[in-house]
Amino acid sequence: LYTELGPENGNGYQEVAQSLNGQKASMVRVNDLGEVIVSVAVPVQRFRAIHGSLMLSTQGDDIDQMVTAERLAILKVGGVASIVMIVLSLALASTIAGPVRRLADSAERVRRRIRTRVEIPDFTGRRDEIGHLSGALRDMTGALYNRIEAIETFAADVAHELKNPLTSLRSAVETLPLARTENSRARLLAVIEHDVKRLDRLISDISDASRLDAELQRQDMAPVDLRRLLTALASVANETRRGNNIGVELRFEGRGALDSFTVPGHDSRLGQVISNLVSNAQSFSEPGSKVRIACRNRRSNIEIMVDDDGPGIREDALSRIFERFYTDRPHQGFGQNSGLGLSISKQIVEAHGGRIWAENRAGPPTNDSEATVAGARFVVRLPT
């Protein structure tokens, strides 16, 4: 409790007594009105000799006013901070939390309703992470639905293609006991053998096509030296020629002798594409002719062309030969090919970010000044 002693009784203050002993001292007291009073006493000395003491004290309620002012300032700052936090929370809820919740709900609906398309909200107009996330989810969902539709279409095509030889096989088996002559039985057995071989070919090609996409996704791409790959394939093709003695010629066209013919990819699958194109060209070539492979090095891609001297491709079939199970080989008879070779080749090339197409090579004009077809050409373009 603060008591006013007057200047004559200064020694009665504890802080004054301590300062007369050479020590600085302070004290906090409360007066009768409940006001805080702070007093400080310091010694007055010269050459270490203490001549007196000086005490300073605050007037009543000065400290309380300062404390109150600081509390009000803290309250003001806290209020402003609270308002800012509320505004920011509402802004974040509308710009981040809300869109993220809508994206999450859409993803959940995609999981539950996988058979029907669910539209992912489009926030790609935003130049931030939400826009990027929306675009990624939309692309992922589109790829998922496309994959599902491709699987369903593939399953339907497989069922259709397997049903044909099975129907023929069942018909032949049911007719076999009714055959009366050995000639009829031999024809029916030949039909059965043909259908069994066709089923075996179809199942092998379907198995390869069904696991192709998964293998390409699991394996990492590595640099593939096309010069070495094509040289090996041409050598194998020449050593294992078909019965009609069709050879394979290979040439490389670049800007220099040391040009690099390297692309990122899977060497076994790219080899499968070229091997399939060479085998396809040999099957349409005349006995004693050659299949020519040319590899060109361009600025941003490499082109591989496979030419033959066969009858070429019908104009209406140029856009269909890469369809699944489509085949156009009237000279070989029905059912000799599964029609999946070029479809698998296209799938492999597109998985490498490239393109594959077919065209007819123009021959010399006839007497009617009409250009003839000198053979077919398949072109594979791969990015470097």
Q: Contacts for 21-25 with beta carbons within 8 Å, 24 or more apart?
A: 21/50, 22/50
Query: Token pair 């009609």 is at which residue?
Result: 244
C-beta separation of 102 from 121 below 8 A: yes
Among left, alpha and beta (phi > 0; psi -120 to 50; other), residue 28 is beta
Q: How far apart (Å, rounded) are the C-alpha atoms in residues 199 and 53?
A: 117
Q: What is residue 370's predicted lDDT score, i.e. its pLDDT?
A: 62
Question: Could you tell me the maximum CA-CA distance found in the chain, to the nearest angstrom?
Answer: 152
Global confidence as pTM: 0.58
Q: How far apart (Å, rounded) are the C-alpha atoms in residues 255 and 173?
A: 62
Name 79's bridge partners. Answer: none
Query: Token pair 């990122």 is at which residue?
Result: 264
Q: Is the dihedral of CA 111, 113, 114, 120 positive or negative?
A: negative
Q: What is residue 197's predicted lDDT score, i.e. its pLDDT?
A: 81
Q: What is residue 368's predicted lDDT score, i.e. its pLDDT?
A: 58
pLDDT tens, per residue, the chain with 384 residues:
888 887 777 888 888 889 988 889 999 888 888 888 889 999 999 888 889 999 998 876 777 788 889 999 999 999 999 999 999 888 887 778 888 888 888 888 887 776 677 788 888 888 888 888 888 888 888 888 887 877 777 777 777 777 777 888 888 888 888 878 888 888 888 888 887 887 887 787 777 777 776 676 677 788 888 888 898 888 888 887 655 678 888 888 876 656 778 888 888 888 888 988 888 888 888 887 888 999 988 878 889 999 888 888 888 788 788 887 777 665 554 445 566 778 888 888 888 889 998 888 876 666 555 667 678 889 999 988
Q: What is residue 334's predicted lDDT score, i.e. its pLDDT?
A: 47
Q: What is residue 114's predicted lDDT score, i.e. its pLDDT?
A: 62
CATH class of 221-383: alpha beta
Q: What is residue 115's predicted lDDT score, i.e. its pLDDT?
A: 63
How many CB atoms are closer than 10 A to CB 317?
14
Please report, for the chain, the start and end positions of each structural domain, with discontinuous segments joined by +. Answer: 7-60, 221-383
Radius of gyration of the chain (CA): 45
